Amino acid sequence: MPDRALQRICYVEDDEDIQRIVRMSLERVGKMTVELVTDPNTAIGVMREFKPDLVMLDWMMPGMDGPTLFRKMKQLPEVASLPVVFITAKATQRDMEELLALGAAGTISKPFSPKDLPEQLRAIWSKLP
């Protein structure tokens, strides 16, 4: 378990409605700091600057999907060690297992409950080494 509380979240998501709900959930319910990224191609740059504790990735995005972005992150030392949580509606069990095998910290399936989302993230955070 990391020695500090989960505070800074970077969320890469193309759907602006969901962005808004997640921001409200994490900021108002979870009292966290959120940085939203709409274009996955700019995500790594944002992460370098924002220095999040944890990254949330949407699975299906135009241009580059979540798993591709994740693999790219793994090759860049600055962001390779960031814990990544996938948010996906295409939630087959096998896909989830595949992501965890790739080194993802956790998965959250859509639709998630904004009331419980901060708690879910903290639970994942607490299990990190």
Partner 1 sequence: MSNLANGIETAAQGAAASVSAEIRSHADPALVRADRVEQLYSQLPLGLAATVVIGVIAAIELHEGRLIELVLFWGTLLAVVVALHGLLYLGYRKDKQRLENSDQWLRWLGIGAFAAGAVWGFAAAVFFPSHADERQVFLAFLLAGVISGGIPMYAASWPIFAVYAAAIAVPFTYVLATFGNRLFVEIAVLIPLFYAVSVAIAFRLNGVFVSGYRLRHAYQRQLVELEQARRQIEASGRKLALFFERSPIAVLELDPAGLIQEVNHAAELLFGFAAAELIGRSVKRLVLPKFQADFDTQWARLIATREPLAGIKVRNPRRDGLSIVCEWTVTPLVNREGDLISVVAQGRDVTAQLEAERMKKEFTSTLSHELRTPLTSIIGSLQLINVGVLGEVPKDVAELTQVAERNGQRLLDLINDILDIERIESGKLTLHPEKIRMDELVREAIVLNKGFGERFRVRFEAKGALSHREVTGDHKRLLQVMTNLLSNAAKFSPEGEVVEITTEEIPSWLRVAVHDRGPGIPEAFRSRVFGRFNQADSTTSRQKGGTGLGLAICKRLIEMMHGRIGFEDRRGGGTTFWFELPQHA
62 binds partner 1 per the rule CB under 8 A: no
Segment near partner 1 (CB under 8 A); pick from 21-29, 34-42, 47-55, 74-82: 21-29
Task: Give least dist CB 80 to partner 1, A.
Answer: 29
Task: Give least dist CB 67 to partner 1, A.
Answer: 15
Task: Give least dist CB 18 to partner 1, A.
Answer: 6
Give the DSSP letter string of 4-43: S---EEEEE-S-HHHHHHHHHIIIIIS--EEEEES-GGGH
| Contact of 111 with 89, CB cutoff 8 Å | yes
Q: Which two tokens stand for residue 68?
A: 């591709």
63 binds partner 1 per the rule CB under 8 A: no
Q: Which DSSP category does 92 fall into?
A: -
